[in-house]
Amino acid sequence: MKHDHFIVQSPTTPAQQLLLLFHGVGDNPVSMGQLGSWFAPLFPDALIVSIGGPEPSGPAPGRQWFSVQDITESNRQSRIDAIMPAFIATVRYWQQQSGVGPLATALIGFSQGAIMSLESIKAEPHLASRVIVFNGRYATLPETASTAATIHLIHGGDDPVIDLAWAVAAQDALVSAGGDVTLDIVEELGHAIDDRSMQLALDHLRYTVPKRYFDEALSGGKPNDDGIVELF
């Protein structure tokens, strides 16, 4: 499957986790891949890949997932829906290439890449087990949700591009729909990722216990009855 990408880390032994990074408008996979250097030491057995958007945006090598020219609240969802099959196919391509299934896959996005990551789980709830959302939002809030994916919203308190209110609304909608979500607000941070944001992301991947584990325990079920190993 042809698409721009940058491999941040490829373990010498078969990958045990898959971390996919998705950039914002006008950025590129190499630049976004710098975030992967934070994850690599803590997940040495992970294949970490930064994926480039399918369309050019601004000066090369800038890319985007969908055009923001003349974008409105009424047409944003349709633009996302148009590219979503290709986005989901890209995630599944790297799952196939790595031999890592959805239960050990994390989607990590910033801005437009975060929007695509959130919307992909709305479209395919079992696409990945973790989603790290830096300064993102839904195009339209979900009416249903499951605990198949644990979503971590990390948002700058002073973001002038995607207002914090969108993250709060996303959290409220997911909680109301029975989803699994956390929200961390980084004070005095704009539309950016800083050391505090990254530490929150790392801590969530390492220490936050997915809600589905508690649900399985309460129902008397046994996790991983299908023999699949969960690593997040």
Give catalytic residues, as residue numbers.
111, 159, 191
CA atoms within 13 A on the CB side of 156: 17
DSSP designation for 201: H
Which of 73-81's residues contact partners 24+ apart within 8 Å by CB, and which partners?
76/139, 77/139, 77/140, 80/115, 80/116, 80/119, 80/139
d(CA 125, CA 140) in angstroms, rounded, equals: 16
**Tokens 């973790």 found at:** 130
Comparing C-alpha atoms, which of 32, 36, 27, 30 is closest to residue 6? 30
Closest CA to 120 of 93, 69, 86, 161: 86
- For the four alpha carbons of 142, 146, 149 and 152, in that order, the dihedral sign comes to positive
Strands 46-51 and 130-134: unpaired
Please list the residues that pair with 131 across neighbouring strands: 107, 151
